[in-house]
Copies of this chain bind each other. A is one copy, B any other.
Amino acid sequence: MLYIIGLGLGNEKDITLRGLEAVQKCDHVYMEAYTSLLSFGLSTGGLSTLEKLYGKPIIIADREMVEEKADDILLPALTSDVAFLVVGDPFGATTHTDLVVRAKTLGIDVEVVHNASVMNAVGVCGLQLYRYGETVSIPFFTDTWRPDSFYERIKKNRDLGLHTLCLLDIKVKEPSLESLSRGKKNYEPPRYMTINTAIEQLLEIEQNRGESAYDEDTSCVGFARLGSADQMIVAGTMRQLLAVDFGTPLHCLVIVGDTHPLEDEMLDLYKLERDSLDKKDNRSA
């Protein structure tokens, strides 16, 4: 049996009881490294906290391992219980459908343990989840590559009055261009896009395209470390949020569409004008 277990967003205690029971009975425990390195502070002792909680050693599976050596993870699941741990929900922002399809093809039973993901936890700001349009991903611009295909999707959402969740780029274990040209993989240091960078890029694209999808006065909500004890949620215009220091990653951004009065009331709780404590208190709604 392959258990794909969502760990939620904050820390080791965001696993569900069912998830914990499943991982505790597994013979092999893998954890996807793509976002977990950060979310659970694995680089700063978080891994041993998890291992203690589970009573098991954890093998960190980076993207390369999941994509290129999936069978090493999957084949033992034919004869024993294997856990694959995922930050958020197994089918949230970072999806693991490929692993499921591969497992099923090999005849392996798969059980999914759901959890919160950024896709539903953004609901905490008060904007109704059913009023979101298509989600967009904003990649880091480079000197020569400044993609803007998400601009049209934001515009379509806004034309319909819908909110837009923008997932911001994460670069973890990316081979450097230099190393690729030498045929040997060296890795760039990890980079996580800030809300500030995302807004700068968005405004640059608006300036180039000029189709008035949004502007500096467009209402947004910035989320940093969503679901963690030190999460930060600030509502304001793009201009206002540009000046906010959201601190350490992960960040994401919502571009606000047409709002209902109850949505406005909730957003007011996160507005910049209020006492700054309101914006920072522990997981407060």
Q: Does more than half of chain A's interface fall in helix, strand or loop, or is it mixed?
A: mixed
Chain B residues closer than 8 Å to A114, beta-carbon distance: 8-9, 14, 116, 120-121, 124, 227
Which residues of chain A from 6 to 25 have a CB within 8 Å of any chain B CB?
6, 8-18, 20-21
Min distance, Cβ A46 to any Cβ of chain B, angstroms: 15
- Is the beta-carbon distance between A14 and B18 smaller than 8 angstroms? yes
State the CA gap A252–B136 with chains docked (Å).
25
- Is the beta-carbon distance between B133 and A100 smaller than 8 angstroms? no
Min distance, Cβ A84 to any Cβ of chain B, angstroms: 11
Report the copy number of this chain in the oligomer: 2
Chain B residues closer than 8 Å to A136, beta-carbon distance: 130
Which residues of chain A from 151 to 181 have a CB within 8 Å of any chain B CB?
156, 160, 162, 165, 167
Q: Tell which of B10, B15, B116, B284 touches A109, judged by Cβ atoms closer than 8 Å.
A: B284
- Is the beta-carbon distance between B284 and A111 smaller than 8 angstroms? yes
- Is the beta-carbon distance between B120 and A116 smaller than 8 angstroms? yes
27 sample A-B contacts, Cβ–Cβ < 8 Å, listed by A number: A4-B285, A6-B116, A12-B17, A13-B17, A14-B18, A14-B114, A16-B115, A91-B120, A91-B121, A95-B128, A97-B126, A97-B262, A100-B266, A109-B284, A110-B285, A111-B282, A111-B283, A114-B227, A117-B123, A119-B120, A119-B129, A130-B137, A130-B165, A130-B167, A132-B134, A132-B135, A134-B162
